[in-house]
Chain A
């Protein structure tokens, strides 16, 4: 059977192909979607040399900066071994551990922004991909990127300042997990705000953690903060995670009470971020905000 369109192009017709292509099982399809999103962001990173500044160059510069300040402050502290150790532990453990939060948050949030910059949001919404599959894909990419950055930072801290992050022992694993979760939680909140308020909220991708860091006592005890800010610092789960990390880095046993506060606070923060993201995604669909990217 054949037909021609009004332009004269001949089109051969056959009985409609009602059989769809072979599909993966739902679980396998989900896993491949997650991997495909992570791979897509890896390709973008691979072809964007300037982004390696975020992954490697700036973290190494930070390590040099804070490591050298730490060394100077320790030397200025005089002959007191405890003061020397405390300063070094605060600055170097803070530098290495902070990169877990910072890289995770930046990687996940900029991963989503990449879709807005390349106007790919509408294309993604018109596929069977579920919201959680997309977030898991960007989260997986963020995990790999964070691992690469943190290994580089930890290696420099060891080579230049003899700070061995593995001195935290097995306690490093739950501390790292809580910091990754904190980074994800802040990133989800920022992604939600960008969905809701558009490019005006993009500055938060780089700025949100600038507020969290000084309040979390990353490089100093929070008792040095102005009195009025100390209760705010106590509420942040990151404050307690860093307190646990420093305790372990000092060679002391796991402070379980502090750890419970850190874990509970991180769980609450993550849950609130997910709820906020869901609400803002709903608003995004209800208000037709996708047209910003089409």
Chain B
């Protein structure tokens, strides 16, 4: 019998995160808990604070206020141990030039400290059906193949949490489906929690059991896709997204008018 979601142990706990850049406040008091095996979509229009929240969760950006704990390890002091349980994929990041896929995976297997990196790489190539790409150089791969290699890399060490920033951006629907299926299988088989950002609301509805909408750096909604859509009086997440994007544009107009 599955444990009810709210009783599963947290893998990521972010409390009251604040981040201010020169252009303004990107994240303004975001608190987020991701539990083991949970598939959470972090959504919002451009400038809502999604990527900054993800980067703070990875320890790549230091919050101005608030804290992040991953598997009980607090960032930034315990970052190395925390990252042992995290895999990161970004659809927009290329693979390094002049390195073969197998060499790239081997590099990360060593960075994760795996005792048998060769076996881990072979398993990852097989699991994601990319064994035929082992000898290819990163620049020879299509977007979809690069994404699959990126997911294979992030899953090498069987992380408890995978953080995915736009994992299927600019992919053909069939390749996006393959990526989504691989992620769902990973979550189901290993209990890996997924924290995903995406601009494709249909994809999020298929992939995530819970969504958090950010608006102006704050949490605007948190719940199942159906509940969130209902809260905003919309049919689906796309309707919520469009509503919040329109709100963002109105906010910007008001700011411009105030400073004019």
Inter-chain contact A22/B116, CB cutoff 8 Å: yes
- Nearest A-chain residue to B56, judged by Cβ: A288
Residues 51 to 92 of chain B near chain A (Cβ within 8 Å): 51-52, 55, 58-62, 76, 80-81, 83-88, 90, 92
Find out whether the CB atom of B93 lies under 8 angstroms from the CB atom of A13: no
CB distance from A100 to the nearest CB of B (A): 27
User: A126 at interface (Cβ–Cβ under 8 A)?
Assistant: yes
Interface membership of A223, Cβ < 8 A: no
B36 in the interface, Cβ–Cβ < 8 Å?
A: yes
Please, which residues of chain A bring their CB within 8 A of the CB of B99?
Answer: 40, 43-44
Contact code string B21-65 (vs A, CB < 8 Å = 1, else 0): 100001000000000110000000000000110010011111000
Pick from B176-184, B240-248, B249-257 the stretch touching chain A.
Answer: B176-184
Interface residue A278 (Cβ < 8 Å from any Cβ of B): no
Chain A residues within an 8 Å CB radius of B59: 125, 285
Residue with the greatest number of chain A CB neighbours at <10 A, chosen from B60, B87, B94, B116: B60
Instruction: Indicate whether B114 reaches chain A with its CB closer than 8 angstroms.
Output: yes
Q: Which residues of A in the span 73-116 have a Cβ within 8 Å of any Cβ on B?
A: 114
Q: In the complex, are the beta carbons of A17 and B205 less than 8 A apart?
A: no
Say whether B61 contacts A35, CB under 8 Å: no
Q: A11-B188, A43-B98 are in contact. Are A127 and B108 (CB under 8 A)?
A: yes
Contact between B111 and A288 (Cβ–Cβ < 8 Å)? Answer: no
**A37→B97 CA distance, assembly (Å):** 15
Q: Is A252 an interface residue (CB 8 A)?
A: no
Q: How far is the CB of A79 from chain B (nearest CB, A)?
A: 55
State the Cβ distance, B256 to closest chain A Cβ, in Å.
Answer: 24
Cβ–Cβ contact A23 & B190, under 8 A: no
Contact in complex: A7, B190 (CB < 8 Å) = no
Residues of B within 8 A of A21 (CB): 114-116, 120, 157-158
State the Cβ distance, A12 to closest chain B Cβ, in Å.
Answer: 8
Number of interface residues of A (CB under 8 A): 53
A47 and B113 alpha carbons, distance in the complex (Å): 26
In the complex, the chain A residue whose C-beta lies closest to that of B157 is A21
Q: In the complex, are the beta carbons of B93 and A122 less than 8 A apart?
A: yes
Contacts of B177 in A (CB 8 A): 7, 9
Please tell me if the beta carbons of A290 and B61 are within 8 angstroms of each other in the complex: yes
Chain B residues positioned under 8 Å from A285 (CB to CB): 59-62, 76
Interface residues of A in 34-51 (CB under 8 A from B): 35-37, 39-40, 43-44, 47-48
Q: Does B129 contact A (CB under 8 A)?
A: no
Known: A36-B107, A290-B61. A24 touches B115 (CB 8 A): yes
Q: Does A127 lie within 8 Å of B55, measured CB to CB? A: no
Contact flag A129-B80 (CB < 8 Å), given A16-B36, A21-B114, A23-B114: yes
Chain B residues with CB under 8 A of A26: 113
With known contacts A14-B189, A123-B93, A129–B158 Cβ distance under 8 A? no
List A residues at the B interface (Cβ < 8 Å): 3, 5-7, 9, 11-14, 16-18, 20-24, 26, 28-29, 32-33, 35-37, 39-40, 43-44, 47-48, 114, 117-120, 122-130, 282, 285-288, 290-291, 294
User: 18 A-B contacts, Cβ less than 8 Å apart?
Assistant: A5-B181, A7-B180, A11-B181, A11-B188, A12-B189, A13-B188, A20-B157, A20-B158, A22-B116, A47-B137, A118-B96, A118-B97, A123-B93, A125-B58, A286-B62, A287-B21, A288-B19, A288-B26
Q: B residues bordering A, Cβ < 8 Å?
A: 19, 21, 26, 36-37, 51-52, 55, 58-62, 76, 80-81, 83-88, 90, 92-94, 96-99, 103, 106-108, 110-116, 120, 137, 153, 157-158, 163, 177, 180-181, 184-185, 188-191, 205-207
* Given A21-B115, A126-B163, A129-B111, 15 further pairs, Cβ under 8 A: A7-B180, A21-B116, A33-B111, A33-B113, A36-B106, A39-B107, A47-B98, A48-B98, A114-B96, A118-B94, A118-B97, A126-B86, A128-B81, A129-B80, A294-B92
